[in-house]
């Protein structure tokens, strides 16, 4: 069943919300709230109705209820002031007042109910319902290749700051950074990333002085909406970040800027040396190799020794630990406790850091604390809805909990937020495992192969391909996939799967193990 309203499509079977052809990110609980309001649009829905249906009778505060209703409004382009679709009836409840039709109806009568071409959607990358922004890597004008990390760090900080407000759709760092060092036309960038605005700039660092230039481009018109140059001492670099971010917000959505007085929330480290180390570490972390991860950890450990309360350094350090365990580079029993300690220290230092909550979610997942893991990922995504890593690993946790449909949506969001990403192979593997849990073996095989084509060393995709081919009865494919899996993960065994993979339900664990037994794994 699909409900169509105000340019949106709510697809219940797929648990998807789309604006035109673009998928809209929406949390599962908010999705359920929208479905219930639309299905009961002929009447006013009371608070008790919502609690009984959406929250299954659990006690919910008024503020939680209000925040979910506001989230539903934002997802469909409504607001508390406008209330053109979801209207609050004083002391009674809420009602969906928009004009709704089902997928079998046209606006004036019967229709074909045809669904959009999914292949076209993926190729076109249409603009989402929010202003979509890509920040290209700032150009290092210092003449010193060793300063490359500094200009990269400026771009990354700007991406993070722009991602905090929910009004922007910000392309993740890994996709925008593929254009580093390349001369490309702005329209090509916009078409490949699905954005309407592109930010570009440069950094010239000399001694203790830095000059930063930045400009915001409207791709549709080819014009520069805004441009500025900042000459500062390095000690003022955080103030410069805030100024740039506020200027871009003001250029794109002046009314939001006026209403919210947006300012990037940051707790700068007490030492500039520590910040330098984190920027260097991130440049290695994003290369997604075993050796680079080791280098990143060493740099981050040095940064935390200089500034033990540096939340960002602790959060990324925790992330590097959990990632090394997930990739099979380190033993999970060894790195997960280290990741947990670093993540908790990061949250203590800066509770608003989404990296810290993402890392804690990963640690809790591998500790089989499933509810705590999901809660940590959800908090990371509330702090930064455009955090592709958190979206992807949220999908992994949902898969391990058996919620394969929600997991598939989360993995799809991660790929949309960062459509050209070294981590895309991992997101494909997560999406593949979700389809395996849903017994959709052909889809699981296709997605696993997508992941392997991008990263031949990603063991998760090899595992899913082996299991899915085996359960699909494609024995030759399963045997070949198992050979490749053993090359990528020599220690793979039934015992390893049973002990190391945090699958919540016994039935699902046995389903996975049976697939490998059929493939010939001992």
| 257-303 confidence digits (pLDDT tens) | 322 222 223 435 555 578 778 877 887 887 888 899 999 999 999 99
Q: Decide if 132-260 and 267-378 have a common fold.
A: no
- With a cut of 60, say whether residue 454 has pLDDT above it: yes
Mean pLDDT, to the nearest integer, of 360-374?
Answer: 96
Q: Which of 120-129, 206-215, 407-416 has the lowest mean pLDDT?
A: 120-129
CATH code for the part of the protein at 2-124: 1.10.10.10
Q: Please report, rounded to a whole number, the percentage of residues in the chain having pLDDT higher than 90.
A: 34
Residue 150 has pLDDT above 70, yes or no: yes
Are 12 and 2 within 8 A, CB to CB?
A: yes
The predicted structure's pLDDT at residue 123: 42
The domain over range 386-522 is classified in CATH as 1.25.40.10: yes
pLDDT value at residue 519: 95
Number of neighbouring beta carbons within 10 Å of residue 61: 8
Other C-beta atoms lying within 10 Å of the C-beta of residue 164:
20
Q: What is the mean pLDDT of residues 317-328?
A: 88
Average confidence score pLDDT of the chain:
82
Q: Compute, in degrees rounded to 10, the torsion defined by CA atoms 440, 443, 446, 449.
A: -50
- pLDDT: which is higher, 441 or 97: 441
At residue 254 the predicted structure's pLDDT band, cuts being 50, 70 and 90, is very low
pLDDT band at 84 (very low <50, low <70, confident <90, very high): confident
| 372-397 per-position pLDDT tens digit | 999 999 999 988 877 888 999 999 99
Q: Do the strands 101-102 and 2-5 form a parallel or antiparallel pair, or are they unpaired?
A: antiparallel
Question: Using the 8-state DSSP alphabet, how is residue 45 labeled?
Answer: B
The residue among 219 and 427 whose pLDDT is bigger is 427
In terms of CATH architecture, what is 267-378? Alpha Horseshoe (1.25)
**DSSP secondary structure of 63-74:** HHHHHHHHHHHH
Q: Is the pLDDT of residue 256 over 50?
A: no
Per the listing, tokens 């591998």 go with: 366
What pLDDT does 420 receive?
67
Most confident segment among 71-85, 223-237, 356-370: 356-370
Q: Name which residue leads in pLDDT, 21 or 357.
A: 357
In this predicted structure, which of 63-72, 395-404, 433-442, 467-476 has the lowest mean pLDDT? 63-72
Is the pLDDT score of 407 beyond 50? yes
Express each pLDDT in 8-20 by its tens digit. 889 888 888 988 7
How far is residue 353 from each of residues 68, 358, 506, measured CA to CA in Å? 22, 9, 34
Fold of the domain spanning 132-260: Rossmann fold (3.40.50)
pLDDT value of residue 113: 37
User: Are 517 and 494 contacting, i.e. CB atoms less than 8 angstroms apart?
Assistant: yes
Mean pLDDT value across residues 309-334: 88
pLDDT for residue 272: 54
Q: Which long-range contacts (CB under 8 A, 24 or more apart) does 369-372 make?
A: 370/397, 370/400, 370/401, 370/502, 370/504
Q: Distance (Å, rounded) from C-alpha 149 to C-alpha 139?
A: 11
Mean local confidence (pLDDT), 424-431: 93
Domain ranges of the chain: 2-124, 132-260, 267-378, 386-522
| 127: confidence class by pLDDT, cuts 50, 70, 90 | low
**pLDDT of the residue at 417:** 73
Residue 325 has pLDDT above 70, yes or no: yes
Q: Which residue has the higher pLDDT, 318 or 268?
A: 318
Q: Coil, strand or helix: which one is 140?
A: strand
Contact 31, 74 (CB under 8 A): no
Q: Which of 58-72, 266-280, 283-297, 464-478 has the lowest mean pLDDT?
A: 266-280
Is 399's pLDDT higher than 70? Answer: yes
Residue 436 has pLDDT above 50, yes or no: yes
Name the residue with higher pLDDT: 462 or 26. 462
Q: Are 463 and 471 in contact (CB under 8 A)?
A: no
On the question of pLDDT at 484 being above 60, the answer is yes
Distances (CA, A) of 142 to 139, 167, 366: 9, 34, 44
Residue of 35, 59, 58, 37 whose CA lies nearest to 46: 37
What is the average per-residue pLDDT within 193-221? 82
Contact 458, 426 (CB under 8 A): yes
Average pLDDT over residues 414-419: 77
- What pLDDT score was predicted for residue 259? 25
Mean pLDDT, residues 341-365: 92
Name the pTM for this structure.
Answer: 0.62
The average pLDDT across 39-54 equals 87
- Confidence class of residue 126 from pLDDT cuts 50, 70 and 90? low
């Amino acid at each position: 069943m699909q409900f169509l309203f105000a340019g949106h499509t709510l697809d219940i079977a797929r648990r998807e919300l789309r604006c035109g052809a673009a998928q809209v990110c929406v949390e599962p609980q908010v999705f359920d709230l929208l479905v219930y309001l639309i299905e009961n649009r002929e009447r006013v829905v009371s608070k008790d109705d919502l609690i009984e249906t959406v929250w299954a009778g659990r006690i919910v505060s008024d503020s939680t209820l209000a925040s979910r209703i506001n989230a539903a409004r934002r997802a469909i382009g409504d607001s508390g002031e406008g209330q053109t679709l979801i209207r609050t009836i004083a002391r009674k409840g809420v009602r969906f007042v928009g004009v709704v039709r089902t997928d079998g109806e046209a606006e004036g009568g019967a229709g074909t109910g045809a669904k959009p071409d999914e292949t076209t959607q993926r190729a076109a990358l249409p603009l989402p319902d929010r202003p979509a922004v890509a920040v290209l890597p700032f150009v290092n004008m210092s003449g010193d290749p060793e300063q490359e990390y500094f200009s990269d760090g400026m771009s990354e900080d700007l991406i993070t700051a722009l991602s905090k407000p929910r009004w922007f759709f910000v392309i993740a760092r890994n996709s925008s950074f593929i254009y580093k060092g390349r001369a490309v036309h702005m329209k090509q960038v916009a078409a490949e990333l699905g954005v309407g605005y592109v930010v570009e700039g440069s950094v010239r660092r000399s001694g203790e002085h830095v000059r930063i230039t930045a400009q915001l481009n409207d791709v549709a018109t080819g014009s520069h909406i805004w441009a500025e140059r900042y000459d500062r001492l390095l000690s003022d670099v955080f103030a410069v970040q805030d100024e740039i971010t506020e200027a871009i917000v003001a250029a794109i959505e002046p009314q939001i800027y006026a209403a919210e007085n947006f300012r990037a929330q940051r707790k700068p480290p007490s030492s500039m040396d520590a910040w330098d180390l984190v920027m260097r570490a991130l440049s290695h972390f994003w290369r997604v190799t075993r050796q680079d991860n080791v280098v990143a950890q060493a740099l981050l450990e040095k940064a935390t020794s200089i500034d033990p309360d540096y939340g960002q350094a602790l959060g990324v350090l925790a992330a590097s630990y959990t990632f090394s365990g997930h990739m099979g580079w380190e033993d999970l029993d060894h790195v997960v406790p280290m990741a947990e300690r670093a993540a908790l220290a990061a949250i203590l230092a800066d509770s608003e850091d989404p990296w810290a909550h993402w890392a804690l979610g990963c640690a809790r997942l591998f500790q089989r604390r499933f509810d705590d893991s999901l809660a940590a990922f959800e908090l990371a995504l509330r702090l930064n809805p455009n955090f592709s890593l958190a979206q992807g690993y949220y999908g992994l946790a949902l898969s391990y909990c058996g919620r394969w449909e929600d997991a598939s949506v989360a993995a799809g969001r991660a790929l949309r937020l960062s459509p050209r990403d070294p981590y895309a192979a991992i997101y494909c593997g997560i999406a593949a495992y979700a389809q395996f849990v849903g017994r959709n073996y052909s889809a699981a095989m296709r997605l696993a192969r997508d992941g392997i084509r991008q990263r031949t060393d990603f063991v998760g995709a090899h595992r899913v391909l082996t299991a899915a081919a085996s359960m699909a009865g494609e024995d030759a494919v399963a045997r070949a996939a198992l050979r490749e899996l053993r090359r990528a993960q020599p220690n793979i065994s039934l015992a390893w799967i049973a002990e190391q993979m945090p699958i919540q339900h016994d039935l699902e664990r046995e389903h996975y193990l049976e697939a490998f037994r059929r493939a010939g794994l001992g």
